Structure 1
Amino acid sequence: MADRVRAWQPDVPHLREVLHAEFTEHAYPSHTHSDWTLLLIDAGAVSYALDRRPHTAEPATLTVLPPHVAHDGRTAREGRPFRKRVLYLADSWLPVEAVGRTVDRPTVVRSDAAAAVRRVHAALGGGDLFEAESGLVGVHDLLREDLQGHPPSHAPDVPLARRLRELLDEAVVSGVTLGEAARVLGAHPSHLVRSFSRAYGLAPHRYLTSRRVDLARRMLLDGQRAADVAVAVGFHDQPHLTRHFRALLGTTPDAFARGA
């Protein structure tokens, strides 16, 4: 469970969510987001795999995780907590060609990038949304500059897997069976699962669960009740939401909402 978690949705263009958290034992299972993730580590360190490749996020560096690419995470120092701050930004915030480059190089070592993101957090903490918006423009420019000249080696979007992902994105709440997807896409269900898992690093059902949890956290931050949110995002009931929410985020929906 989370030792501390706080999340909110500032009224800043492209910025979907801000999350501050501290964990001692929670380990994130492999999951994905539809957003760009900018991660700062304030204490401790985090070991994670991005597209099945191992990395470590430490203080003084900025970690950039691209949308739709599987990653996990856990403390890199056994028995010691890690404290993090995260900005979630819309998938259109950086160009699509940046996805492969950040999979290859998720750690931004230049100190001015991490410092710029810290200034955004400081502005958000002080309630100065215009300063935060201006700061994000600067962060965007720094990352675009850092990514230039680094051609990607990662190309996850094989056509069949991409089409299945688009189908799942269209049916986040209603859901879709593998049989239905197979009929729509003209492929055998087992081939769909293999293709998707190879491309994105997790099975289709886990991708769909990640999308539903992402949708749930935004609705919780809007003040909606967990019981209502559970059904609204496609889970059977609140215990079903709670089980997946806690597995992915290390806290319950109610505790997450209270930390807003």
Structure 2
Amino acid sequence: MPRSTDNARTTAKEHARYGYADGTGIEVLHARFERHRFTPHAHDTWAIGAVLRGAKDSMTSARQPSIVQAGEVYAIAPHVAHAGMSIGDHGCEYVMLYVPDDEWRLQCDIHGVSPNAFSQPVTMRRAMAPFAQFAALSMQGSQHSSAWPDEWALLCEAVLGSMNDRNTSAPFSSIAADKRLRDARAYLQAFSSRNVSLDELAREASLSASELCRRFTAAFGLSPHRYQLVLRLKTAKHLLLEGMTPSAAAAATGFADQSHLGRHFKAVFGVTPGAVARRNSARTF
């Protein structure tokens, strides 16, 4: 279950918040520092960082600065010594994810990206909001534990998916004709009211998790996680149109709560679940 603590710094402008999810092993730090300087250290995990505002020196080298600017994502491999401090007069706000090596390598394999793709900072302004949202969820306690697999997969899609410029060697039609992929899609459709784990879906398709994700995305244009998310949102919409409350629809379709449903619902449909519930006779989707 996710646990969170709030470690407020002594100055009003500085803060550091910590979250952890037992099921994933991912630690999260959302911080804003002006004067704090980290002493040299190393982690057993990957440190995947996104600078939201300001700039910082990740200090991975004693010989030259490693500056990361706002809107950039970077990664420090396990056991690499580094320190860190804010640059400039206005401080630095950032999110840092501490991801186990096997999990980061699996996600990189799924998206066809080298684990070392972010050894130098990469500008990814569109990924800043997903990083901040993921961090915020990690701070909200155990009631959001069911949301972690979806949110982590979507964050990886936002970050790693945009790095993958590989072209599939097989034609779209031949990939989509693969019975294993059609079976996987049918399985998601049959269980659209709940979370289907990637491991469960991979077993159903008789493929490895990474191979399933690559081939499914090439065949249907959406990753398995996003395909399933859209299915669940469509199911929630129909429940709302039938008169169910947003909170009940969220529970019925496997979302952590009404807020979790609402964020994804508006991103796909452009309106909130409450708007649909209030106008449940207007079937305009």
TM-score, normalised by the number of residues in structure 1: 0.46
Larger radius of gyration: 2
The TM-score with structure 2 as length reference comes to 0.43
Bigger relative CO (Cα 8 Å, ≥ 6 apart): 1
